[in-house]
Structure formats: C-alpha cells, structure tokens
Chain A
Amino acid sequence: MELKADRLTKRYKNIIAADRLTFTLQKGVTGLLGANGAGKTTLMRMLCGILTPTEGTVTYDGIPVTEESYRNILGYLPQDFGYYPDFTGTDFLMYFSALKGLSKQAAKARTEELLRIVGLSDVSKKRIKSYSGGMKQRLGIAQALINRPEVLIMDEPTAGLDPQERVRFRNLIGELGKNSIVLLSTHILSDIEHIADRVIMMRSGQIIWQGTWGDSNESLESFYLKEFGEEQHA
C-alpha cells in the first residue's frame, strides 16, 4: 500500500503551485501543513487524480491515479465540501454510494452505519440545506468514508466542528490511519500532533520538510512558527 508522488509539478501560466514534489505515503496518517496558498489543495487534487499535473506522476501501488481502479479505493473530502441542498442526508450518501459502486443493499447498510458514526441519524431525512455548518462537514466526512477507502485525502476535515466533535473525529481519523493511507491537511496543529505519524510541510509550492514528527523533541507549533513565522509576518 503505497501512494507515490514523483517530481509532481503544477504550473498556472507564471505561477508554480506545486514544484517537483516527491514523496511516498504509506499506511498511517500524514499531516500536511502549510500557509494558505502554499499549494496544499493543488497537491491533494493531483493526488486524487482530478487535477492533471504539468509534470511528474502519482501512482498507487504502481497504478496511475487516473485509473478507474484507483478511484474505487479513494475517499476525498475537499475543503469547500459541495452538496445538493434539496437532497436529504440519506439521499446524498445513497447517491455517492451508488457512484462508488456499492450495491443498493450494501449502500443502505453503509449509509445507516455512517450516519450513526457521524451523528446524523436523527436528521437523515431532513434536507441538507437545513443542516448547520458542522452537520454538513460531518456529512462530508461520511461521504469520504463510504467505500472504506484505502487512500483517504481530507482537506481540513475538522473545520467548522465544535471542540468536542473535533476531538471525536480526530480520533476517528486516527483509527482509519491504522488500515489506510490518510493525508490530512489542517491548520490545527494539535490535531496533527495527536494523530499524524508523518508530517509534510509546504511553502510556495515546495516541500520544505517531511519526516516522522515523533522523532523531534521540539513542539510542532514552535517548529511551524519558526518555519513559517517570517512568511506570515511579511
């Protein structure tokens, strides 16, 4: 189980959003850190196969991520999670279950299970447009988990959740990392500290640091502030 990015580059006219990024993700949670505009979302979209890199490759166990078989094991939660306002929570998960190839019976069981996990069972028949921001975010997390993904890419999954929910979902993501490759982008450093096995830090489209965070005695926050402080104060 290995997701490999090799000299991954994305250029938009004169802007380099991702610059020759090379890394390998394995089972476990990898935290992706970087200031806004560092290229995290661009990187995640390329890892999902929905954004074509200008140069470089992304493969999962040797298979390009543009292949249908990769999408079968992929779960993705984008930062600006989209939904159909007039669908109910159940409709939404049933629809994405069908898109992910689950049979109707399996979809129904998985939808009920996920709604229970994310605490939306009691509002499952209500339209999504009536959900609070936190409820929508929880539905997004449920959507990403439908097919029990081997590769789970989440862009700020705990944004909008209250502290209690955040801790619960952080632990859930940590559990998922035991059997899957999880890439987690967040600005909440404590989340990364608690559950990430590895950390990738990005600045201006480049990886400035990657490794196993537990090896360091320094707190992630002070390391982060040291690395990004100049940029953020500029």
Chain B
Amino acid sequence: MHNFGTLLGFELKKLLINKITILLLVLFALFLFGLTMLEYTVISPEDRFVSEREAELEGKELDDDMMSKVTEEAARYGSLAEIDGNSLYYHVSRYINRAFGTYLTIPDLSVSVSTEDLNAESFYRNREAMLDYLYDYFQLDEPEREYWRSKESGIAKPFIWFANYGVSAMRANYGMTAALVSITIGICLSGIFASESRYRTDALIMCTKEGVKNLPVIKILAGEIFSLIVSTMLLVSVQLPHILFNGLHGIETACQIIVPFSSYPYTTGKLLLIYTGLFLLAGLLTGAAAILLSRVLNNMIASGGVICLTILLDLFLTLPPRFRVLSQIRFLTPLQVLINSSMLDPRLVRIGSTYLTAFQISAILYAVLILAFSFGAIALGRK
C-alpha cells in the first residue's frame, strides 16, 4: 500500500479540522473537567479529601472493633442511617448501609438493618445473604453460583477500610463519559464516508489508484484512531482532577469497598483498569458502527442520528432479569457494563467448560463486532 502514512494523516486531518468535532470535543472536555473540579472546589470539597481525622481509619480492618465503634456512633445519632458528615464514621456507616442493600433499587428487597447485633460476623453474613438474594434475582444456575462462591472464598476478610471517594468517583465516571464519547464519535464519524458524497469528491477518489482498494481501509483506521483520541481525551478530562487531588489513593485495596456486591477477586486498581479497557473498546466499537453506518446510509444526519438514538435507547430501555437470556444480552452493551452500580452483573456465559464473566464476554463481543463492522465497511467501501 503506497503512501499509507500520508493518507492516514490526511484522513485524520479531515476529521480533526471539522468545526463540529472541535466544538463537541472542547465542550465535552470542559464540561467533564469542570464538573469534577467543581466537586472538589465548590460543591462539597469537605467530602472529597481524606481529612486528618479520617486518616486514622485508613488501613483499619472492618472487624468487630470497627463495627462496635460504628454501633456506638449509631446509638449516639439514633440509627445507622442518621450518622452524618460530622462523625468520623460517616463514610464507614454509609458503606455498611450499602452492604446491606439500602441504596439498591431492586424490588421486593428488604433487609432490616439492626445495629444491635452489628458485628463483623453478622456484617459478612448479611453481605453473603445479599449476594444469594442477587443470585436469585439474576436467576443464576447452580454452576454459576458455585463459580462466584469459589471467587468469594478467595477474597480476604475482614475488608480493609480506606477512604475511597477518589477511586469510587473515578469508577462512577465511566458510564456517563462513555455516553458523551459515543455521541461525539457517532456525530463526528457519521461523515467519514458520507462527506465524500456531500463534497462531491467521491468521483475523484474513485478515479485514483489508491482510492478504491486501499482508502476504505485507511479511512477505517483513521476513524478508529480518532475514536481512541476522543475516548482518551474525554476520559482524561473527567479523571484528571481526581488524580490531581486524590492521587490513586486506595487502588491496592479490594474492590468490594467500592462495589460491595461483587465477588471479583480484584483490587480497585485492577477494576479501574478493566473499566478503562472496556471504555476504550466501547469507543472503538461506536467508531466502527458509525463508520459502517456512514458507508451504508451515505448520509451524515441519518448515521449520526441512528447512533444517538441507540445511545438514548441503551440508557433508558430496561429488561427485567426474569427474561434471563434477553436481559443478559441487553446488559452487555457498553453503557450498561460501564454504568455505576453497587453490583456488577454476575450472569456468566458458558463456552465449553469455561465460564466467562460479563467483563470477559463484553470484551470478546466488542472485539468481534469491531472486526465485523470494519470488514463490512471495507467491503462496502470498495464497491
């Protein structure tokens, strides 16, 4: 292939000098950066840092001693839920509440939180009961339950406490940022093929040596590089303030501190890495879909519109877990996998004798779809 690098550079230039691209990128980057900065500087800076007072809890186990102190604090305030930000144990008490499912929006879930018998044994027992409840809710079969129980047994307990605002917020950012990334990519790449018809350059390109066979490949590569640039830029915009203010505090601790109903034997750092990988793959997937749509529909507004509509449907369309297969497939979409939640989808996919988690099957699925969409766009682009 002649002039690969030169043509790739020009295709990237076409994408990056587009006014809509520049506007969307700057607007979303400023929005995400500004939103996080505001949290640290204006909205509630007191909740964003580990205070000197709270530092004494760092690295402490969530054991009988910690539970008894929380119980004392709950008695002083009236109940566990009433402990407020003035208390040293405010964040720990909120975590315990979360571990009892207080903030879960699952129907028919009622776990009474009594502080009278709160101790390490009851805390971990209740958490296991919650996990069993969720396994029922997601209609896991026995081998799937066994899979998670074996993972759960590998998690060290008692959990080690650490102030987790930074890493928690970092994880929570992936879903919303992925939605903005998808919108940006969907709109900006909608013209990658369609704009050639709009600018009437398609006939000129088809009369060139490299235009028919090789340019579609180069356009797809440029589109995917663009997707990576957009994904990285917006992710950095939203995560940078956290890293600046909190560093990567807590990344070596078990992920159960930020995702209580998970039996993944991961550190929070590894969980964030998985989210980052899936986030980038999701960007590439949106890019490949937008490129294919641009070629198929040959209309910038139509292809951008389809992507934006799909994102909206993905955000708001729900499917109860009782429709096990459909629901499991539906929740493998990038936004659903990356969305902020106290639980991570425990439903597994069995391939032969191997079980794949939602993270693993999503990564494989996205990679396969990226290749399929790309080859589809190449085949159509050469016609």
Q: Is the CB of A96 within 8 A of B14?
A: no
Residue in B7, B18, B203 whose CB lies within 8 Å of A98: B7
List the B side residues contacting A99 at CB < 8 Å: 3, 7, 205, 208-211, 215
Residue in A81, A102, A107, A143 whose CB lies within 8 Å of B200: A81
Q: Is the CB of A71 within 8 A of B7?
A: no
Q: Is the CB of A100 within 8 A of B208?
A: yes
A108 smallest CB distance to B (angstroms): 11
Instruction: Give the number of residue pairs across the A-B interface with Cβ within 8 Å.
Output: 85
List the A side residues contacting B215 at CB < 8 Å: 99
Q: Which residues of A contact B (CB under 8 A)?
A: 45, 48-50, 68, 71-72, 74-76, 78, 80-87, 91, 94-96, 98-104, 107, 143, 147
Q: Mark B172-199, 1 if CB is under 8 A from A, else 0.
A: 0000000000000000000000001001
- Chain A: CB-nearest residue to B206: A50
Known: A76-B204, A143-B204. A100 touches B199 (CB 8 A): no
Number of B residues with CB within 8 Å of any CB on chain A: 26
- Smallest CB-CB A-B distances: 7 pairs: A82-B200, A99-B208, A98-B3, A82-B201, A76-B207, A98-B6, A50-B206
List the B side residues contacting A75 at CB < 8 Å: 207
Given contacts A78-B200, A83-B199, list 17 more A-B pairs with CB under 8 A: A71-B211, A71-B212, A72-B209, A76-B207, A78-B203, A78-B204, A80-B200, A84-B14, A84-B201, A87-B14, A91-B13, A98-B10, A98-B210, A99-B7, A99-B205, A103-B2, A107-B6
Q: Is the CB of A100 within 8 A of B204?
A: no
Q: Which of B4-25 contact A (CB under 8 A)?
A: 6-7, 10, 13-14, 17-18
Q: Is the CB of B203 within 8 A of A76?
A: yes
Q: List 11 A-B contacts (CB under 8 A).
A: A71-B206, A71-B209, A71-B211, A75-B207, A76-B207, A81-B204, A84-B201, A98-B2, A100-B210, A104-B3, A147-B209
B342 smallest CB distance to A (angstroms): 47
Q: Which residues of B contact A (CB under 8 A)?
A: 2-3, 6-7, 10, 13-14, 17-18, 196, 199-213, 215
Complex Cα distance A99/B218, Å?
11
Complex Cα distance A78/B201, Å?
9
- Chain A: CB-nearest residue to B6: A98
Q: Is the CB of A101 within 8 A of B203?
A: no
